[in-house]
Amino acid sequence: MSLTPQINGTVAIRSSAVQFLQAFQQRVTAGLLTGKPASRSNYRVVGEGPDSLRIHAVDWWTAINVGLNELELRLPQTGSAHYRVRYWRWAAYVVGLSGILGLIGVALLLTFDVRAYIAEHTASRLPGLSTDQNLLIAWTMVLFWGFVWPWVLIAVHKRPLHRLVARLVGEVDASAIGR
């Protein structure tokens, strides 16, 4: 599984390229995620061609909402839409926030005498483990949640993004056919 914040895929469509791209532009204008305006669904078409469309999240609130930062749609042949999603801003937010929390955790572990606290407060220990083992677990948790977890999130986020794009393409395709 790649840690690069990008996905590619293909979704079948029934409408023509022209119908689909016009309907998708209208969906972006109406509110890409739900078809209604929303503060965290602020997208804009930034590039269009006879068989392609590029959409970007306009602001940070939108970029960190679901991670659909940049969506590129290409319709090179009848019956399919190829997409590429890049979510670098979402990934930067996840890495940055976790990194800040991780640095705070490291600073707290280095600043305070955590070993003495664990030794004095037996209720704060994990049962059956020594003070040193509990301290090791504290360090492991801070390092994992601060510096490993964001990369796990970036990799795991790919599947929900594929489903989101497939849902959006399906909804827009159905509306394009109904016209």
User: Does position 45 have pLDDT exceeding 70, yes or no?
Assistant: yes
Give 125's Cβ-side CA count (13 Å radius).
Answer: 16
pLDDT of residue 179: 63
Task: Average the pLDDT over 73-86 and give the result.
Answer: 95
Provide the whole-model pTM: 0.89
Together in a domain, 15 and 71: yes
Together in a domain, 163 and 145: no
Q: Give the tokens for residue 73.
A: 């749609």
Judge whether 170 lies within some domain: yes
Together in a domain, 139 and 169: no
Judge whether 121 lies within some domain: yes
Together in a domain, 83 and 161: yes
pLDDT of residue 37: 87
Task: Average the pLDDT over 33-39 and give the result.
Answer: 89
Domain encompassing residue 161: 6-87+157-177
pLDDT in tens, 118-171: 999 988 889 999 999 999 999 999 999 999 999 999 999 999 999 999 999 999
User: Does position 46 have pLDDT exceeding 80, yes or no?
Assistant: yes
Per the structure, the count of domains in the chain is 2
Whether 71 and 54 have beta carbons less than 8 Å apart is answered as yes
Query: H helices within 32-157, ranges in order?
Result: 60-65, 88-111, 114-120, 131-143, 149-156
Together in a domain, 29 and 56: yes
Q: How confident is the model at residue 56 (pLDDT cuts 50, 70, 90)?
A: very high
Together in a domain, 24 and 82: yes
The CATH number covering residue 65 comes to: 3.30.530.20
